[in-house]
Amino acid sequence: MSRAALAFAVMLVAASSGASIAADEIEDRNAGYYYPPVTSEETFARVIAAAPEAEAAVRVNFVTSITKAQLAAPESP
């Protein structure tokens, strides 16, 4: 490996590790100024109802209705 390629690889590793450290420092530095520090953690479950099955005719009707509404609006869609 040439010296230039080795130097480039070392700089690349140094830059990537420095960026992650800098991001952590910025997050911690802003924690009391821009927003309150995190003092708790919340976990909740989401209940998402399954959508009913739609046949091709229902999907085509939906797209047609949306297109007609956009074209009938005073502004350009």
Residue 70 CA to residue 68 CA, distance in Å, equals 5
Q: Is the pLDDT of residue 18 over 80?
A: no
Asked whether the beta carbons of 38 and 31 are under 8 A apart, the reply is yes
Q: How many CA atoms lie within 13 A of 76 on its CB side?
A: 0
Average pLDDT for 30-42: 84
What pLDDT is stored for residue 67 in this prediction?
Answer: 94
What pLDDT is stored for residue 2 in this prediction?
Answer: 73
Average pLDDT, the chain: 79
Name the amino acid, one letter, at 21.
Answer: I
What pLDDT is stored for residue 26 in this prediction?
Answer: 57
Closest CA to 51 of 63, 41, 43, 59: 59
What's the pTM value of the predicted model, to 2 decimals? 0.34
Q: Is the pLDDT of residue 1 over 60?
A: no
